[in-house]
Structure 1
Amino acid sequence: MTAQTRPEITLVLAAPRGFCAGVDRAIQIVERALAQYGAPVYVRHEIVHNRFVVDSLAAKGAVFVDELDQVPPGAHVVFSAHGVPKAVPADAQARKLSYLDATCPLVSKVHREAERHHREGRRIVLIGHAGHPEVIGTMGQLPEGAVVLVETTGDVAQLAVQPDEPLAYITQTTLSVDDTAEIIAALRARFPQIEGPKKEDICYATTNRQAAVKAIAAAGCDAVLVIGAPNSSNSLRLVEVARRAGCARALLVQRAADIDWSQLDRVATVGITAGASAPEILVEEVIDAFRTRYAVHVREVTTATESVQFKLPVALDVSAA
């Protein structure tokens, strides 16, 4: 197929997209730890949910493990951006491991909220997805039974709590804004006195990326590609948001090689976004893949501008020295 015979296609890029400040900070922590201490540096679980990022760090000397018993004594270990139960740093200290905590500061904020509510005598309702590392880490901040998990409005109806029991709710940071609003409304309807966060727990990056994908999905896109990992909560939510915004053909792809081109047959406009743990290089890779098949026109739809940056741990932050 020559350049003259390639069909035309318009790619609509959502902005903001891709890396958030918490993900960028977590990756920098691993990279600076490698530079400062030398390889290997061990990482408990995937530092962020993206295979390209994990493989890139592994090539530089990071060793990813499931649990701390796989880390040799005296080694350096990094905890993932999703946060960990309190038992994990306690275990690291017991094993005499040098550790760095790459938990996103916005996740740590939720942890502090949970501790405050518990200290003030409230039982905590956590809105989130069972089994997600962030949920495991948040529930692990407090004694067993102090936090109860709800995933749907149906779960709210089934909550077994005493009518006069003091309650508070917190949320996972990477949820669907619209779904979470429905669950919060159900909680407030059933428990009018329930306490909530002073500022919502869903992080700015999740909110901004969902707003951007709504904008491109509603802008006449025949399909939307979300670049992200299948275990990435924020990426999966972007697919759901695009479909609800009117683009039924919203697809999750990890990178260009995963695109099923048959699903894009006869499309004229494709929206592209990336989850908060997907690097921009994967967006560029997808655009290049389209250019091998189409005469591509690119435009960007910007719904917000982000300037958030999080400080690195003092042990690694050269500017703090």
Structure 2
Amino acid sequence: MAASNRTTPHPSTFILLGIPGLEASHVWISIPFCSAYILSLLGNCLLLAVIKTEPSLHEPMYLFLSMVALADLAISTICLPKILCIFWFKDGEIHMDACLTQMYLLHSLTAMESGFMLAMAFDRYIAICNPLRHSAILIHRAVAKIVLGVVLRGAVLFGPHPFLLKRLQYCRTNIISHTYCEFMALVKLACADTTVTRAYSLAIAFLTGGVDFILIVLSYILILWTVFKLPSKEAYLPALSTCGSHLCVILVSYTLAFLSFLSNRFGSSMAPQLPIIVANIYLLVPPMTNPIIYGVRTKKIRESVLRVFSIRGFPALS
């Protein structure tokens, strides 16, 4: 689909290019993208089903984990179908309102996912540092308030983003050199002053992902401090083993998030394809690997999955 390099100040549609310079390989690139999307759907749906059907998993940590799985499903479904349309059918046209909605949902859901990971770190901190009060502190009402607070934080803080972008003038072009509607990709198209918009975005990024990461690190420092002070650690080994899965997920998610953030903000000297590839890896890998990590490393989830398949007629693995 042809598109001019100049457009009206307020275009009704944008054109997503995919990965510029690699258009000839889009069909081949779509194979791992499609595979990752299918694995993400299957893994997260299975994880949600197991947590819902197994009463032993109705604990705060697994309830927060189910929120992470829901966020992963939503993030994948918001972006991947359109990306595959670009790769398979060269259909990159997207209405401006749909583009802004996709951008808002992507960033707000990412912030929610970060908040749920922080909630899981808080749960592990209480379980290890104050185990006798764990059930008294993280009652169902408290868990519901935490979930509501995380959702409202993501929804409200990123609420101004679509309005800040819609008021800008896009007189340069309506072509977005990206696979989806990402905030900085849209800001770079504007011919107006974007200082306020960029500053607000940076502040919100720090108040969500940045603060969450600092608090998660602090919680694990306190956990390790508590464990190292105890003369006998055998009683805490089961609790610490659940931290391993959480730490692996955090390592994957936050490493890719920071790489994507830095490459988009400060990657002007890089090859133009590299920030887009990093952003897509961040979009694809965590939703696919999170259920695998928890399924393999968390004993209660692994046993519950095997029990479900055994009940449905599959032989349980020893």
Q: Normalising to structure 1: TM-score of the pair?
A: 0.26
Question: Which structure features the higher share of strand residues?
Answer: 1
Q: Normalising to structure 2: TM-score of the pair?
A: 0.26
Question: Which structure features the higher share of helix residues?
Answer: 2
